[in-house]
């Protein structure tokens, strides 16, 4: 019969899972939590400031772009999308340009009518400055507009039928150096068209580099 094993069996040491966790590491202390909260608040403030700085920078960049190229249209009237007479072009900065309908006038002596078939028309152009800055017309009080026979895409295509501006000096004399915000200005216009011109175009290009406006007017619509 074998004798009992007299060797002492030693218990295995505690595994890491069984080791006690110091109380100061069991969870963040109040001081540590406060420090973490402060860091998060600072980071949030920094991100907020950065967002504001970026927004301001983008706004200023857009203003610089507008100032460099001039305000864009906020309505039809640009190249490829001409208006008809009686309609208003609107810019993003609040400036408006309106060309009235054209009305047939009885030719007066010396008004430039060249042939019996020539036709004289009266209409007007109105500037309305709804923006925040003066609307400049230039040092020479330049009107910045033109009127030609043909579509807006074929300027001066029908030179033999070019409209004759009868009251140019009178109109230019009405132009101020600039139109102040909140003010409007209406210019009376008188043009004579030669017989046989199928369509005419009136355009305005202001001095501040903004997008030009076009009105395309079929002559048949004026003779009904």
Q: Are residues 63 and 93 in the same domain?
A: no
The answer to whether 171 and 188 have CB atoms below 8 angstroms apart is yes
What's the mean pLDDT in 193-203?
Answer: 84
The answer to whether 203 and 216 have CB atoms below 8 angstroms apart is no
Q: Are residues 103 and 52 in the same domain?
A: no
Q: What is the pLDDT of residue 4?
A: 52
Q: Are residues 31 and 109 in the same domain?
A: no
106 vs 102: which has the higher pLDDT: 102
Per the confidence metrics, is the pTM higher than 0.75?
no
CB count in 10 Å sphere of residue 222: 17
Q: Are residues 61 and 140 in the same domain?
A: no
Q: Is residue 42, in this structure, part of any structural domain at all?
A: yes
Q: Are residues 56 and 139 in the same domain?
A: no
DSSP designation for 99: E
CA contacts within 13 A on the Cβ side of 66: 13
What's the mean pLDDT in 37-47?
Answer: 78
E strand or H helix at 191: strand 184-193
Q: What is the pLDDT of residue 40?
A: 78
Task: Give the three-state DSSP class for 32.
Answer: helix
Q: Is residue 14, in this structure, part of any structural domain at all?
A: no
Closest alpha carbon to 178 in 129, 213, 211: 129
Burial class (CB in 10 A: 0-12, 13-18, 19+), 205: middle
Q: Are residues 64 and 103 in the same domain?
A: no
Contact partners, residue 33, CB within 8 Å, separation at least 6: none
Q: Is residue 212, in this structure, part of any structural domain at all?
A: yes
Tally DSSP H helices, then E strands, for the chain: 2, 11
Q: Is residue 56, in this structure, part of any structural domain at all?
A: yes
| Residue-range definition of the domain harbouring residue 112 | 88-222
Top mean pLDDT of 111-120, 149-158, 165-174 is at: 165-174
**How far is 191 from 200, CA to CA, in rounded Å?**
11
Q: Is residue 20, in this structure, part of any structural domain at all?
A: no
For the chain, what is the domain count? 2
Q: Is residue 79, in this structure, part of any structural domain at all?
A: no
pLDDT band at 196 (very low <50, low <70, confident <90, very high): confident
């Amino acid at each position: 019969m074998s004798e009992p094993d007299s060797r002492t069996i030693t218990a295995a040491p505690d595994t890491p899972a069984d080791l006690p966790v110091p109380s100061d590491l069991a969870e963040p202390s109040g001081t540590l939590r406060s420090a973490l909260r402060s860091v998060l608040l600072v980071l949030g403030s920094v991100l907020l400031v950065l967002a504001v700085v970026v927004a301001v920078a983008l706004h200023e960049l857009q203003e610089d772009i507008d100032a460099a190229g001039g305000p864009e249209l906020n309505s039809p009237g640009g190249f490829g999308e001409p208006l008809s007479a009686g309609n208003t072009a609107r810019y993003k900065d609040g400036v408006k340009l309106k060309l009235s309908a054209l009305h047939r006038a009885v030719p007066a002596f010396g008004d430039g009518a060249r042939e019996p078939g020539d036709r004289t028309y009266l209409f007007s152009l109105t500037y309305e400055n709804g923006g925040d800055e003066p609307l400049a017309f230039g040092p020479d009080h330049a009107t910045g507009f033109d009127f030609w026979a043909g579509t807006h895409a074929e300027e001066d295509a029908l030179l033999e039928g070019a409209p004759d501006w009868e009251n140019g000096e009178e109109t230019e004399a009405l132009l101020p150096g600039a139109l102040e915000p909140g003010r409007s200005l209406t210019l009376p216009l008188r043009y004579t068209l030669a017989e046989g011109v199928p369509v005419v175009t009136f355009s305005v290009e202001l001095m501040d580099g903004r997008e030009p406006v076009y009105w395309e007017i079929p002559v048949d619509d004026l003779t009904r």
